[in-house]
């Protein structure tokens, strides 16, 4: 794989659990970086990750992970992938250190390297003090951290994180997102972050894949999804809102929303704000502020999911 090789290339990928279709005709290309996998519970996010790991067979279609075909030798590509599962999963009877060392050994690391990296990753994940305790005695947050350490111990090129902030308190959540952001931005590790929490994805990722009903309904940069709406303005006035509304409508503008003295006004085709000022003069109100309307990721996502229904 070269640096320009997409981390994921899928074409018509379909996955079924018996008669139920979990993923249908998924076609996408993801260049790399930190990518969010967003969607409601049961949308097919975990199924997609498991299929990309080669844990679930595809019923139809094909795909490549880090340039390696899904129907090829997945053991080779798994050396370069880290995986943090959604549910509680650990090697029974081992301490945090032993479990992380073991994960490194299973990924093909020599014993000495696995030991050194296990210490480093547990310290990186914030488990320095607890690393010699049995994982079964860890709190939920500590289990999430040890899963992250295990996913990173062999220094993967791509890491799949399935709901990494599940069960974390607010402080733990912030710390976990900081760690993920760090490895993605400072260390250049590609991240596929699956979550149903918008904020998690928004804080870490540059790109988002939106999954709905087993289909990918959006695959684009977050900044284009959460965009400024050029043809609408958010206006704050001093004066009579009813008179301003009437003046706007007389000048061919549509008031989308009105809340006290805050209004959202749909502008004419080219986003010209001049009619707004004329409407203010006509109605005798003062414009305190005029700003473009921002569509948050949440609003954009609700639009996308609503449209997909």
| List of residues contacting another protein (CB under 8 A) | 17-20, 50, 53, 55-56, 75-76, 78-81, 83, 85, 87-94, 102-103, 105-110, 113, 116-117, 119-121, 123-124, 136, 150, 152, 154-155, 182-183, 186-187
* Nearer to another protein among residue 138 and residue 244 (C-beta): 138
Which two three-digit tokens encode residue 277? 């000022």
235-251 as b/e: b if 16+ CB within 10 A: bebeeebebbbebbeee
CB 161 within 8 A of CB 193: yes
* Nearer to another protein among residue 11 and residue 89 (C-beta): 89
Which two three-digit tokens encode residue 68? 């390696």
In whole angstroms, the minimum distance from the beta carbon of 90 to another protein comes to 5
In whole angstroms, the minimum distance from the beta carbon of 14 to another protein comes to 15
Strand segments, DSSP code E, in 50-197 are: 60-65, 68-69, 81-84, 158-162, 190-195
CB 139 within 8 A of CB 107: no
In whole angstroms, the minimum distance from the beta carbon of 182 to another protein comes to 7
Which residues are within 8 A (CB) of 44 and not within 5 positions of it... i.e. 6 or more apart?
A: 15, 22, 23, 211, 213, 214, 215
* Nearer to another protein among residue 120 and residue 262 (C-beta): 120
* Nearer to another protein among residue 133 and residue 261 (C-beta): 133
In whole angstroms, the minimum distance from the beta carbon of 148 to another protein comes to 11
* Nearer to another protein among residue 28 and residue 59 (C-beta): 59
* Nearer to another protein among residue 93 and residue 271 (C-beta): 93
CB atoms within 10 A of CB 273: 16
Which residue has 């976990």 as its token pair? 176
In whole angstroms, the minimum distance from the beta carbon of 165 to another protein comes to 19
Which residues are within 8 A (CB) of 270 and not within 5 positions of it... i.e. 6 or more apart?
A: none
Instruction: State the chain's maximal CA–CA distance in angstroms.
Output: 80
* Nearer to another protein among residue 3 and residue 186 (C-beta): 186
| 3-state DSSP assignment of residue 84 | strand
CB 145 within 8 A of CB 84: no
In whole angstroms, the minimum distance from the beta carbon of 110 to another protein comes to 7
In whole angstroms, the minimum distance from the beta carbon of 88 to another protein comes to 6
């Amino acid at each position: 794989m070269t640096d320009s090789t997409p981390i994921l290339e899928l074409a018509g990928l379909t996955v079924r659990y018996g008669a139920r279709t979990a993923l249908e005709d998924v076609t996408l290309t993801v260049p790399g970086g930190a990518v969010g996998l967003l969607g409601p519970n049961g949308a097919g996010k975990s199924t997609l990750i498991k299929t990309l790991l080669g844990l679930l067979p595809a019923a139809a279609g094909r795909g490549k992970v880090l340039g390696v075909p899904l129907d090829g030798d997945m053991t080779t590509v798994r050396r370069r992938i880290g995986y943090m599962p959604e549910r509680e999963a650990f090697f029974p009877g081992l301490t945090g250190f032993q479990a992380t060392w073991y994960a490194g050994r299973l990924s093909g690391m020599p014993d000495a390297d696995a030991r050194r990296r296990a210490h480093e990753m547990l310290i990186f994940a914030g488990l320095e003090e607890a690393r010699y305790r049995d994982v079964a005695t860890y709190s939920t947050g500590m289990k999430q951290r040890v899963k992250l350490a295990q996913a990173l111990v062999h220094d993967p090129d791509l890491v799949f994180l399935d709901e990494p902030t599940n069960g974390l308190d607010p402080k733990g959540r912030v710390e976990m997102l900081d760690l993920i952001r760090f490895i993605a931005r400072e260390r250049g590790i590609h991240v596929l972050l699956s979550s149903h929490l918008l904020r998690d994805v928004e804080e870490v990722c540059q790109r988002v894949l939106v999954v709905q009903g087993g289909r990918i309904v959006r695959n684009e940069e977050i900044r284009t999804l959460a965009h400024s709406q050029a043809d609408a303005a958010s206006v704050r006035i001093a004066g009579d809102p009813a008179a301003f509304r009437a003046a706007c409508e007389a000048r061919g503008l549509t008031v989308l929303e009105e809340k006290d003295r805050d209004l959202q006004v749909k502008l004419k085709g080219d986003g010209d704000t001049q009619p707004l000022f004329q409407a203010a003069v006509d109605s005798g109100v003062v414009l305190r502020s005029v700003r473009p309307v921002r569509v948050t990721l949440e609003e954009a996502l609700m639009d996308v999911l609503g449209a997909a229904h």
